[in-house]
Structure 1
Amino acid sequence: MEVTIISQGLDLMLYGMGTVFAFLTLLVGITHAMSASVNKWAAADVETASDQKSPDVTSVDSSIVTAIQGALDQHRGR
């Protein structure tokens, strides 16, 4: 029997879709494994980072606050 162009097209489509499905499945699996390993190793680093002190809050000069507020008012007024 003669192979038609439609059957060749369907074969090519199924081959392409299967290849994409296999690639995406592999990509999801590798991403999941990498995420699990990073979460495993990074958990210890997060605990040590939380021990650091945050810098003290300093007051801002009132003239700077006024200038920023004026710039915001001018921008919103457009």
Structure 2
Amino acid sequence: MPSSDLMLEGLTLMVFGMGFVFTFLTLLVFATKSMSAIVLRLSPVEELVMEAPVTMAQPSQNVANDPQLMAVLSAAVHRYRQDH
């Protein structure tokens, strides 16, 4: 078999293979889009309720109101300053 015939068969096989892959991927995209549209029609989208962001002031207010925690923190700071 001459090499030109082998090249022609190889190119033909490549074109058919790439054509099948392109066709399959195109059908896959259309199927995915249609399924997405069907699901959105059948089940309505729920609105998400955004909670207020937690501010950094809340934990410090809780710490200031806890005398035992304040005593422990003060002792830790005092010990750290003595060692360094």
- TM category (shorter chain) comes to 0.5 to 0.7
What residue in structure 2 maps to residue 37 of structure 1?
35
C-alpha separation in 1, matches of 2:30 and 2:10: 30
Aligned to 2:8: 10
Report how many residues are paired: 56
Query: Aligned equivalents of 1:30 and 1:53: distance in 2?
Result: 34
Q: CA RMSD in A?
A: 2.0
- Give 5+ residue unaligned stretches, structure 1: 62-78
- State the distance in 1 between where 2:56 and 2:38 align: 41
User: Given the alignment, which residue of 44, 57, 60 partners 2:56?
Assistant: 60
Deviations 1:20-68 (A, max 9, x none): 211221221122112211232035342xx21x4211222224xxxxxxx
Equivalent AA in structure 2 for residue 25 of structure 1 = T
Amino acid corresponding to residue 13 of structure 2 in structure 1: Y
Provide the rounded CA distance (Å) in 1 between the counterparts of 2:13 and 2:49: 57
Q: Which has the higher contact order (CA 8 A, sep 6+)?
A: 2
Scaled by the length of structure 2, what TM-score is found?
A: 0.51
TM-score by length of 1: 0.53
Secondary structure in 1 aligned to 2:50? coil
2: CA distance, partners of 1:57 / 1:13:
61
